Amino acid sequence: MRAPAASAALVADRSEPAPTTPSPPTLVMAVVRGLLFDLTTSGNRDRTDRAPARFCELLRR
């Protein structure tokens, strides 16, 4: 089996997460990386310090 086909098979075998399941780690890491990028490019620490709390609020909904 070719690697892309094997990857597709692994993804197809996974069931969809329940709506109450926490967000995937990939989403959380993307937010963290984005905030770090924003902080280093803008220097706006106030905004980037408030954003994680807001993100957590959105995850709890």
Domain that holds residue 49: 24-61
Residue 24's pLDDT is what? 76
> Measured on CA atoms in the order 8, 12, 13, 17, is the torsion positive or negative?
positive
| Tally of domains within the chain | 1
> Measured on CA atoms in the order 1, 25, 32, 51, is the torsion positive or negative?
positive
Establish if 40 belongs to a structural domain: yes
Establish if 12 belongs to a structural domain: no
Establish if 43 belongs to a structural domain: yes
Q: Which amino acid is at 9?
A: A
Establish if 6 belongs to a structural domain: no
Residue 60 DSSP one-character state: H
pLDDT by residue, tens only, the chain of 61 residues: 344 554 455 455 556 656 665 567 888 899 999 999 999 999 999 999 999 999 989 888 8
Q: What is the DSSP string of 8-24?
A: HHHHHHSPPPPTTSPPP
